[in-house]
Amino acid sequence: MAVVAERAFTSRSTLQRVEAGDTSVSIGIYAGVLQALGLLEGLGQVADISNDSVGQALASAHLPKHVHLKRPTGPSHDG
């Protein structure tokens, strides 16, 4: 535990809070711990919309059903 805390540039008590899932610990500390454990690559998947089917469904529900394009009102430039 001491080695991981040192490599993550944090204290052992903060590392214990991370292990307990304490939500008051900053994301930077979590990233440091993941880096120390060689698991930082997985952090990018947390916010990846392709891994979030609920988020995709909610985003799609807010899309308009029909789109109406505005037609140009000025003179034509086609020649």
The one-letter amino acid code at 25 reads: V
pTM: 0.59
CA 74 – CA 79 distance, rounded (Å)? 13
Nearest to 7 by CA among 40, 34, 42: 34
Would you write out the chain's pLDDT as a tens digit for each of its 79 residues?
A: 999 999 999 999 999 999 999 999 999 999 999 999 999 988 888 778 888 888 888 888 888 878 788 888 777 666 5
Structure tokens at 9: 């540039």
Per the CB < 8 A criterion, the answer to whether 34 and 45 are in contact is no
CA 40 – CA 7 distance, rounded (Å)? 13
